Amino acid sequence: MIVDKRAPIYPIRTVAHLTGVNPRRIRAWEDQYNLLSPARTSGGHRLYSEEDVERIRWVKAMVDRGMSLKGIQRLLETPRPAELVGEGRGTGR
């Protein structure tokens, strides 16, 4: 069975349980640091995908290793080599 890892299915309380990260902290990572961008219901409730859950786990692991949230934010904003090639920058011209 193939699952769409980008499908928004988890409410924040479930994500908090799956990741061990407090819902307040998850909201802060979204609102203050733009580390997440979950989907929203028509009522404004956040819904997280499996990719979002994986990202939260990764951010938590980086924080646990001593990386700052600003550092994580900068790391996520830096284009990856594949993105550079896709934009025509990594072609050696």
Q: For the residues 50-73, what does the mean pLDDT come to?
A: 97
Output the six-digit token pair for 9: 């299915």
User: What is the domain partition of the chain in residue ranges?
Assistant: 10-86
Q: Which residue has the higher pLDDT, 92 or 50?
A: 50
Contact 33, 63 (CB under 8 A): no
Q: For the residues 73-87, what does the mean pLDDT come to?
A: 77
Q: Which CATH number fits domain 10-86: 1.20.1740.10, 1.10.1660.10, 3.40.50.300, 3.20.20.140?
A: 1.10.1660.10
Confidence class for position 14, pLDDT limits 50, 70, 90: very high
Output the six-digit token pair for 38: 């979950």
CB proximity list for 57: less than 8 A, separation 6 or greater: 19
